[in-house]
Structure 1
């Protein structure tokens, strides 16, 4: 009997093995057909005393079932019901009788358990080049949980997330997932970049400053004009607005210290200036300080020819609420 792995267990699996195990579309369709058949079973899933687990995931495993009779809760298995049809490409075959929910399906599943802001943050992670492991960024455990950042290739894209959720007619959490994916951006390289982008760009009603969505980790080729002062062929900007030629650079405590690193950053910013790019640096202290970050947001808005209206008590309250939900991401430097 196939065991359909989902929720936090599937997220742990993909963060461990990476995107190379997603297989091609035809293999995912085949795995999804197997999953549809397994959901019709009335037999409760079990590990049968076996120590084999997908990707070495921790116990208990979150397993999807499609009938009331199949529901179970043991030290090894926690079942979650899935009662609607599976969209194409919902599963990948991990072997040893395990079918793993794809990152897109995990995003839809987690809409049941996460707030809107947490779901957006998960979307950034799935579409970014990092993973928060050891358990907390996507399970709502709060600041007491331990989270460690690990680099990895993106598992999906905002476009793929949106397309998958749109096909999931009748699925629980679909409405929230469709709303969340509108604000997910590709390319974040760290939890802090995710938090910064969300704080600056989510709409007022969600606690952000309502700035236009930037490109994340955007490559700018230097060109001949700036080549004489450059020490590289291109620059990658953390947040970049191509139309306005504005870049925001997050100066991480982890990566931007030491005389050599500071000198390199200075040369890099001079190079971007020669390309007529306005660079705004943002430090960890500025992100953590509400007043300083608001000043940064107002500076960016002015450069973009916009005006922020984010000072009312109600909007300030929403901003603090958003910060509380981003607590884990804000706690990780990188």
Structure 2
């Protein structure tokens, strides 16, 4: 019998690039490895999924207390297409079902962060030293292609990072429909709250962090500036096209004023992708192109976002530009913001650990 990965183990599996999965042998079958001797040595479990391995069981008789395994009983009917087959000797909770199974075990903030990642065009995966070497050797020997639909980002020095670009695992409408349909199940209400707060499709943790800090209500620790779109498509006019040699660009966060007559673009200037030297030139040209079309562009660095007072200055400036009221926070609001920042501004590779 194969394991059914759920909860944090399923979330970690969904983060693994196919380039890495291609190097991993199947996880040993449970019936053929009663003592877990093979499981203890398995590459994917040891270097990615970790112990205990979180698995789903459908009846109480299966809910034993084996070493290295954390069984989670699911006594309700399974949602449609909740369990996926894999090529790695295990079954797997689908991305939507993964969020539902993990919801009871993480905070609302972390669940929202996980939902953003699964709905976004990125994943954060940190290969172990062994996997890093195996990837390098496999690329050099042409054992596997570098592009499986997932592309690894690099930093300003051209070094590989833990940020991977890939197509979204979940569509926003599907997340809302799934959360609505399963709101009565354990963790369902929390998932529905998270689904309603995902502002759009993001391309990096930085964009998620900025979206949550700007967009969440003051009650939740944010700035309450929720009138924006993520990765907003802008068709360039002829003058702007000559500057960037593109037909269109995408704004990280596109805010609209209270009267609808003005818009402000916030560009997240991170250390990866946008931070590369050649990308920096493209970003400068892009800002010039957008300004030539009358857009007001605000550049946000991670350092500026991480510093609470600096971020408040940006938020107040943004509110003034857009015609929204901005007032000082109460002590209770400041405490909620500190709580949000404590959970949000983390090493994203550790997201969901419990």
Q: TM-score, normalised by structure 2?
A: 0.74
Task: Find the residue that maps to 1:111 and give its secondary structure.
Answer: helix
1:193 aligns with 2:185: no
- Conservation of the 8 A alpha-carbon contact between 1:192 and 1:329: no
Contact 2:231 2:253 in 1 (8 A): yes
State the match for 1:108 in structure 2: 100
Cα distance in 2 for residues equivalent to 1:262 and 1:66: 52
1:226 corresponds to which of 240, 244, 260: 240
| CA RMSD in angstroms, aligned pairs only | 2.9
Verify: 1:62 aligned to 2:80, yes or no.
Answer: no
C-alpha separation in 1, matches of 2:177 and 2:208: 22
Distance 1:96 1:210, change over 3 A: closer
Does 99-108 or 256-265 show the bigger shift?
256-265
Q: Distance in 2 between matches of 1:279 and 1:211?
A: 16
The CA deviation at 1:12 is 2.0
Distance 2:43 2:168 in 1: 20
The answer to whether structure 1 residue 212 and structure 2 residue 226 are counterparts is yes
Secondary structure, counterpart of 1:112 in structure 2: helix
Distance in 2 between the 1:81 and 1:97 partners? 21
Note the C-alpha offset of 1:71.
Answer: 0.8
**Cα displacement (A) at 1:61:** 2.7
Work out the CA distance in 2 between the residues paired with 1:17 and 1:227.
35
Deviation at 1:121, TM superposition (A): 0.6
TM-fit CA distance, 1:269: 1.1
What residue in structure 2 maps to residue 46 of structure 1? 30
Structure 1: runs of 5 or more not aligned: 22-44, 136-146
For 2:189 and 2:12, the matched residues in 1 are separated by: 25
Match of 1:93 among 85, 104, 115: 85
How far the C-alpha of 1:310 sits from its partner, in A, is 4.6
C-alpha separation in 2, matches of 1:194 and 1:278: 21
Q: Deviations over 1:163-187 (max 9, x none)?
A: 1122225311111111111111332
CA distance in 2, matches of 1:92, 1:258: 37
- Provide the C-alpha distance between the structure 1 equivalents of 2:283 and 2:346, rounded to a whole number of angstroms: 27
Q: Give the match for residue 152 of structure 2.
A: none
Q: Is the 8 A contact 1:86 1:168 kept in 2?
A: no
2:263 corresponds, among 232, 238, 245, to 245
State how far apart, in whole Å, the 1-side matches of 2:292 and 2:213 are.
Answer: 29
1:50-97: per-residue Cα shift (whole Å, max 9, x none)? 858797654543111122221123344321111222111212122576
Give TM-score scaled by structure 1 length. 0.79
- Determine the structure 2 residue equivalent to 1:4: 4
User: Does residue 110 of structure 2 align to residue 118 of structure 1?
Assistant: yes
SS in 1 for 2:266: strand
Instruction: Report the secondary structure of 1:328's partner residue.
Output: coil
Identify which range, 254-263 or 92-101, moves more after superposition. 254-263
- Farther-moved stretch of structure 1 (77-86 vs 258-267): 258-267
Q: CA deviation at 1:263?
A: 4.3
Aligned residue for 2:267, secondary structure, equals strand
Match of 2:333 in 1: 315
Please point out which of 292, 297, 300 is paired with 1:282: 300
Structure 2: runs of 5+ lacking an equivalent: 22-28, 128-160
Q: 1:97 to 1:251 in 2, by over 3 A?
A: closer
